[in-house]
Amino acid sequence: MAVYTDVSFEELEIFLEAYDIGEAHVFKGIAEGVSNSNYFLQTDKGSYILTLYEKRTEVAELPFFLGLMKHLAAEGLPCPTPVHSKSGAASGALNGRTAAILTFLDGVSLRRPSAEHCIVAGGALANMHLKGANFSLKRENGLGLKGWRGLAADCAADADGVHPGLKQIIDAELAILSAQWPVTLPKGIIHADFFPDNVLFVDKRVSGIIDFYFACYDSLAYDLAVTLNAWCFESDGAYNITKGQALIAGYQQVRPFSPAERVAFPLLCRGAAIRFLLTRLYDWVNRSPEALVKLKDPREFVRRLRFHQSVQSPEAYGF
């Protein structure tokens, strides 16, 4: 979550005339994340999130994202759902951006999740995979191999200024991933951004899963690799195998891995690391000084990638 597009209270009031959610009492920007502009909105009828979709989110793909949240919520997954306007529309226009109002979920995201949280998060991810199995729409992963190559090309001139030798690190890794990436693993709807700040907790249970704007149809095991990269490394770059074991166990209690997924997991973890290294690098070198946004350091994922490159078997992760 972040704020790139400013919305005044007066502009908000005009926008809300199309909805039946009451009068705004509290309205403030949320400075976390990097993709869209987000505001917390409280009215006399409840609490909501107002999202304005920025360049990284294709407006043509909103029916997939909003439809997926509606589907998962109907299946019993705790996730935001779009609030429809009086005319029945799931989105509208605000300050030159497509915008939507989503339900607000109680809970807090964790800066330092424990192994107990990891086992619960793993189960929640697997549960999302199962509940998304019969969702009728599909969306290609725009941040798969093809997307990584494009980002690498866009950042090539600036990469070494962020970290010495980074361009060579990226190029060498992409060559390996392009040659070895598995394409026949079980697929389904994945979150693709299942970081701790997108999972809400109340009393050690998952109370909400948010930010589905990278969700797509791709390898289910890759989604766990993304999650392991996000949850199981310490601030010094060290892999926490206790958290890894918990995350993997929590996932497999709900959806066991196939033998092929297990064998491919180290390579999937490398792909997940390069994906976030590249998107963070792109945002780092293209940051806007006007945006209210907290940028994340791409160098964290250089250290994680190095760990994955040293792994010889899935057991190193806690299988």
User: pLDDT tens-digit profile of 273-311?
Assistant: 999 999 999 999 987 666 556 678 999 999 999 999 999
Task: Write out the DSSP string of 103-157.
Answer: E----B--SS--HHHHHHHHHHHHHHHHHTTT-------TTSHHHHHHHHHHHTT
Q: Report how many domains make up the chain.
A: 2
- Contact present, 81 and 69 (Cβ < 8 Å): yes
Do residue 98 and residue 121 come from a single domain? no
Residue 22: phi and psi, rounded to 5, are 90, -175
Q: Judge whether residue 36 has pLDDT over 90.
A: no
Q: Are residues 219 and 148 in the same domain?
A: yes
User: For residue 91, is it left (φ>0), alpha (ψ between -120 and 50) or beta?
Assistant: beta
d(C-alpha 257, C-alpha 110), whole Å: 27
**Parent domain of 265:** 115-317
Cβ proximity of 218 and 187 under 8 Å: yes
Of 56, 75, 103, the one marking the end of a domain is 103
Q: Is 268 helix (H, G, I), strand (E, B) or coil?
A: helix
Tell me: do 179 and 272 sit in the same domain.
yes
Residue at 311 is within a domain: yes
Does 296 reside within a domain? yes
Any idea what DSSP says for residue 317?
Answer: G
Last residue in a domain, options 103, 124, 154: 103
The predicted-structure confidence for 192-212, as pLDDT tens digits, reads as follows: 999 999 999 998 899 999 999
Task: Decide which of 79, 103, 127 is a domain's last residue.
Answer: 103
pLDDT of residue 34: 58
| 263 and 312 within one domain | yes
110 inside domain: no
Query: Do 32 and 65 fall into the same domain?
Result: yes
